Amino acid sequence: MTSLDDFSKRARRAMDDAQPAFDEAAGRRRLLAALPAGKKGAALRWWLGVGAVAAAALLAVVGAWRTRSGEYVVATQSAVTVPFEEGSSAVVSPGSELRIEARTPDGARVEVLRGRVDVAVTHRPRTDWHVRAGPWDVAVTGTTLSVEWHPAERRVEVAVFEGVVEVRRADGPTTTVRALERFDSRVGLIRPQPALPSPPRPAPEPTPAQRAPEWLSPSVIAFDAGPGDRPPPGPRARPWVELEVAGRYLEALDAVRAAGSLKVLAKAVPDELLAIARAARFAGDGALATEALLTTRRRFTGSSQAAMAAFLLAREARGDEAVSWLQRYLAEEPDGALTREAAGRLLEALMQAGRYAEARTAATSYLARFPTGPHAPYARSLTEEP
């Protein structure tokens, strides 16, 4: 012990007593208010990367949790489901942020600040539902869709699963997007690609659940029952399938539970399992969604649906677990519909897991295969890091 130790204790106590008052709240407000208005400095560059929208939203965080309008939802590790009084719901994907500007008896006004939000809007006579993303406004009148906003690229993607929406930019033209179409602000309206070739084995007539948009998930369409499994029953025998397709997720889930979740999962065919996982996810039952996906993996090993389940499980996971699921998807579907997406997300997951060297290697592979892919700038930044 040095002779300064006793002095240190005494001085420390005296300094604690002498420390001037610190108004944390004022400091917080000042810091946040200064950021978007600043014009120089490395810190501001960081913030400008986030975008003025996010910075402005930060100001709204204070107290926003307590109010109904101006509510702020951030999903970090798992998806967050937000129910609305008029029956609609929104699912905020991990890593995404949503601001709810207003809830009304006929709808809501929400803003996607970052990432992806899936919205299932219940149709009403005077539905007034709007999803904003940057300068874009999506008017919804009863449909199921996803809106993805990339602030750094100022890019919006709207995918419509059911119904019709109108996408418009302030002072710009309006684009009508119908079921199975999507809108990308970089390229405009994208219609579904022609149907894929028939699967190797003859498949029965698809149930409504299998009529997913081709550009999203051809593997879901290509029904491939495992050995020993019964052919898919008609929709009436599986009421949750119809309900899920109609976007009535809570009712679909109730139907599954009424029939006995474990029993249903044990007997369901692959696409049905994916439909249950989807309904459970949208209805906020993450545990059942995960169980349905794991069951798909277990019971239908080697199928395209099992690969899809791996991709979806990665979406709910992070770090090493996400890496593992994405690697499995890529191994099982090296040329799948979501291979590019999975390869991109793998970079993010590896960085999240702190596996920087592997992330750089994966980034090099990504750039070699998808030089103009959506994750290319990110991959480039990883390969250029010292």
Partner 1 sequence: MSAPARQSADVSLLREDPATLVHALRAGSPVAAGVLYDRSAKRVHGLLFRMLGPDGELEDLVQETFMELFASLHRLRDPLALDGWVASIAVMVACKRLQRRRLRWWLSFLPQEDVPEPEPVHLDTTAGETLRQCWKALDQLEPRQRLALVLRHLEGMRLEEGAQALDVSLATFKRLLAKGEARFRDASTRFPALREWLEGAS
Nearer to partner 1, 10 or 257 (CB): 10
Nearer to partner 1, 31 or 331 (CB): 31
Q: Please tell me the distance from the alpha carbon of residue 95 to that of residue 77, in angstroms, as a whole number.
A: 7
* Whole-angstrom Cα Rg for the chain: 24
Nearer to partner 1, 31 or 196 (CB): 31
Nearer to partner 1, 64 or 189 (CB): 64
Q: Are 311 and 338 in contact (CB under 8 A)?
A: yes
Alpha helices for the chain (secondary structure H): 4-18, 24-37, 42-50, 52-61, 218-221, 239-245, 249-259, 261-267, 270-282, 286-299, 304-316, 319-332, 339-352, 356-369, 376-384
Nearer to partner 1, 95 or 336 (CB): 95
CA neighbor of 28 nearest in space, from 51, 52, 59: 59
Q: Please tell me the distance from the alpha carbon of residue 277 to that of residue 108, in angstroms, as a whole number.
A: 26
Nearer to partner 1, 115 or 142 (CB): 115
Q: Shortest gap between Cβ of 22 and partner 1 (angstroms)?
A: 5
- CB atoms under 10 Å from CB of 30, counted, come to 11
Q: Shortest gap between Cβ of 54 and partner 1 (angstroms)?
A: 5
Binding site for partner 1 (CB under 8 A): 2-8, 10-12, 14-20, 22-24, 27-28, 30-32, 34, 41-47, 49-51, 54-55, 57-58, 61-62, 65, 71-78, 80-83, 95, 97, 113-114, 151, 284, 318-319, 352, 354, 356
C-alpha distances in Å from residue 101, one per residue of 57, 126, 129, 212, 283:
11, 19, 11, 31, 22
Q: Shortest gap between Cβ of 15 and partner 1 (angstroms)?
A: 5
Q: Shortest gap between Cβ of 233 and partner 1 (angstroms)?
A: 32
From the number of C-beta atoms within 10 Å of its C-beta (0-12, 13-18, 19+), residue 371 rates as: exposed
CA 157 and chain centroid, separation: 12
Q: Shortest gap between Cβ of 48 and partner 1 (angstroms)?
A: 10
Q: Shortest gap between Cβ of 18 and partner 1 (angstroms)?
A: 5
Q: Shortest gap between Cβ of 91 and partner 1 (angstroms)?
A: 11
Q: Shortest gap between Cβ of 64 and partner 1 (angstroms)?
A: 10
Q: Shortest gap between Cβ of 357 and partner 1 (angstroms)?
A: 12
From the number of C-beta atoms within 10 Å of its C-beta (0-12, 13-18, 19+), residue 217 rates as: buried
Q: Please tell me the distance from the alpha carbon of residue 85 to that of residue 99, in angstroms, as a whole number.
A: 16
Question: Which two structure tokens, joined as six digits, stand for 361?
Answer: 């290697």
Nearer to partner 1, 108 or 307 (CB): 108
Residue 61 CB contacts under 8 Å (≥ 6 apart), including other chains:
72
Q: Shortest gap between Cβ of 31 and partner 1 (angstroms)?
A: 5
Q: Please tell me the distance from the alpha carbon of residue 362 to that of residue 347, in angstroms, as a whole number.
A: 6
Ramachandran quadrant class, 360 (left: phi over 0; alpha: psi -120 to 50; beta: rest): alpha
Nearer to partner 1, 83 or 302 (CB): 83
Q: Please tell me the distance from the alpha carbon of residue 89 to that of residue 118, in angstroms, as a whole number.
A: 8
From the number of C-beta atoms within 10 Å of its C-beta (0-12, 13-18, 19+), residue 40 rates as: exposed
Nearer to partner 1, 34 or 180 (CB): 34
Nearer to partner 1, 7 or 196 (CB): 7
